[in-house]
Amino acid sequence: MEKVKKKIGSFSFWNWVTASIIFRLILIYFPKNLNLSSRPEVSTPLTSFRRLAEGYWLKQSFMSPYAGSMYHGSPLLLSLLGPLTINRIEGQPNHLLYSLVSVIADVVSAMLIRATGQNLRLAYLRSLESLDLVKQIEVSGDIAALIYLCNPFTIVACVGLSTSPIENMAVILCLYGACSRLIPLAAFGWVIATHLSLYPAILIIPVIFLLGCGPDSPPRKLFLQRHQQKEVLNQSKLPPRFSWGPVIHFAFWAFLWSVYVLVLCGISLKQFGGLWEMFKSTYGFILTVEDLSPNIGVLWYFFAEVFEFFRNFFLIVFHVNILFMILPLAIRLRHRPCYLAFVYVAICSMLKSYPSVGDSALYLGLLGWFVNELADMQFSLFLFCGYVGVSLLSPVMHNLWIWRGTGNANFYFATAMVYACLQIVLVVEGVSAMLNHDRKLRNLITGKPQDAKS
């Protein structure tokens, strides 16, 4: 019976995947009308397709791709994707090849998410088994992959020709590698993701936990309690202790890959100022928030208003904000590294200097891994309505400000603030739901009544 159900499930899964791909292809054929690639929600200075094309053009004409503060991405992206910006097929939409690459990146990410989700589910089942709790759980991998593929944010980022599908793919590759213990792959994903957008660098903490103790499981204490109750200490059923071996292995590979990437970048930028130039106009550009054009984040408005002599101070404050949250979260959620990764990604997409909807697409996709654990999450309807409302309101406010002239920057910024608040609520509620879930498991084991929570 279950097999049949599973079969049906996987059948409709592939149906949905095909439907979402077809939908993307249909949208790709209307690039002029949608004009998505010029929307501030989709293309930030870092992910914009136009800037990529400009950088490629500059490089072709033997100038530094970073000249004129137009392009701020990686030089590798330039050599890989650059040629696609000018290649055209007669009678087809202009950027068909490039769009196809984004579609492929999306599908690959979805498949990786699915595989990771299955991994996580197996681990979850195993740990439940060892706790003697039998539970019917959802196929979280499929759900997460479908959420990622059918999310309007992902579709918009993909059709809007931004580079975020590729950045997201690197992040997911890293997590996938860490979950399935393919250490070189994990290191490669981590290095590339960091190279492309800097912020995924903090994912090293969840990756270390993943490699050290394996994928998400209930807290180790629970297992000990359980076995104390039974008074048999079955070591094989305990989750493994932290092991440094894979971590060192990972560090070695990460070092190797980063040297490799840097050498490649150095070669491609040899005559244009070398690596220093690259660091200055990619990481420097990200960290100093030079471009104040409106986006869905909150930093542009703030730094447009702030006095020049406070600027450095506030730059430090805003970036340290992210770093502040790393440690407490890492301590609290160390037994659930994948969830920790989700929380980190969400926080980054909230506080990063040039956020786009592609970042939200990533963490919303990752959220799908935890459907079983987050079943009790509060405010789900409110959050859903909020996301829908903000994503509709933001273009309208932009239109009011830029095209109609009846609104002003505050209108648009208000939606950005609401969006940031929604993300905060999502993270807070998500983390508390996860902690509640752990608590509930503990209560189930110790046999306390359910009401004892809080």
Partner 1 sequence: MAETKEKSLSDEKPKPRVRPIVRLGIFLISHSFHVSVVCCTAGVLALFLLPVLAKNTYISENALMPGSASPMLSNQHVSDGNRLVKDLTNPNSKSSETGIESHKIIAQYMLDLGAEVSFHKFHPQMNQFHPLHFFSSPDSGKIQENYSCSSYGINTVGIIRAPHGDGKEAIVLVTPYNALKSGFGEALSLGIAYSVFSLLTQVTWLAKDIIWLVADSQYGEYAAVAAWLREYQTPKFSSLSTPNAEMCPDVNNLFELKGHSISGSKFSNSFRRAGTMASALVLKVRDQNEQFEDTISIYAEASNGQMPNLDLINVVNYLAVHRQGLRVNVEKLWSLLNSSWLKSLGEIFESLAKVAKSLYPKWKFGIPATEYVEGTATLASSLYYQALGVPTGPHGAFRDYQVDAITLEISPKFSLDKVWRNDILLRGGRLIEGVIRSVNNLLEKFHQSFFLYLLTSPSKFVSVGVYMIAFAFLIAPLPMVAASLYVDANSSSNCSKGDSSTPSAITDTDEHSIAIRSWRWLNSAKLVFIVHLWGAIVSLLPYFISQIPDCSPTTSFMIWVLLSILSLLTLNSVLASPLACAKATQEKEWALVKSVTISSVFIGLGLMSVINFATAEIGALLMVPMCLLAQPLKLDVRAGTLRSFCRMICNLVLGHIAFPPAALFLLKGMLDGFGNANVGDFWMWVESLWAWNSATYLFIVEVTYIFSHG
**What mask, x for binding partner 1 by CB under 8 A, covers residues 125 to 144?**
---------xxx-x------
Using the rule CB under 8 A, is 388 a contact of partner 1? yes
What the block records as the tokens of 187 is 């290191």
Tell me which of 385, 417, 424, 452 binds partner 1, using CB under 8 A.
385
Give the residue among 430, 418, 444, 120 at the shortest CA–CA distance from 298.
Answer: 418
What the block records as the tokens of 406 is 């009846």
Q: In which element (H, E) is residue 156 found? A: helix 152-159
Rounded distance between C-alpha atoms, residue 344 and residue 338, angstroms: 10
Tell me which of 93, 237, 380, 435 binds partner 1, using CB under 8 A.
380
Helices marked H in 87-134: 96-130
Tell me the closest approach of the beta carbon of residue 277 to partner 1, in angstroms.
Answer: 35
Backbone angles phi, psi at 243, to 5 degrees: -120, 135
Rounded to 5°, angle at Cα 125 from 122 and 127: 110
Stretch touching partner 1 by CB under 8 A, among 209-217, 316-324, 343-351, 383-391: 383-391
Using the rule CB under 8 A, is 1 a contact of partner 1? no
Tell me the closest approach of the beta carbon of residue 379 to partner 1, in angstroms.
Answer: 6
Backbone angles phi, psi at 176, to 5 degrees: -65, -45
Using the rule CB under 8 A, is 2 a contact of partner 1? no
Rounded distance between C-alpha atoms, residue 112 and residue 117, angstroms: 8
- Residue 44: helix, strand or coil by DSSP? coil
Rounded to 5°, angle at Cα 281 from 267 and 161: 90
Tell me which of 21, 34, 251, 275 binds partner 1, using CB under 8 A.
34
Q: What sign for the dihedral angle of Cα 177, 208, 148, 97?
A: negative
Tell me the closest approach of the beta carbon of residue 170 to partner 1, in angstroms.
Answer: 29
Tell me the closest approach of the beta carbon of residue 386 to partner 1, in angstroms.
Answer: 9
**What mask, x for binding partner 1 by CB under 8 A, covers residues 188 to 207?**
--------------------
**What mask, x for binding partner 1 by CB under 8 A, covers residues 407 to 426?**
--------------x---x-
Tell me the closest approach of the beta carbon of residue 28 to partner 1, in angstroms.
Answer: 13
Give the residue among 175, 181, 212 at the shortest CA–CA distance from 343.
Answer: 175
Tell me which of 111, 264, 396, 435 binds partner 1, using CB under 8 A.
396
Rounded distance between C-alpha atoms, residue 398 and residue 203, angstroms: 33
Number of shown-chain residues binding partner 1 (CB under 8 A) = 39
Q: Which positions touch partner 1 (CB under 8 A)?
A: 30, 32-36, 39, 134-136, 138, 372, 375-382, 384-385, 388-389, 392-393, 395-397, 400, 403-406, 421, 425, 444, 449-450
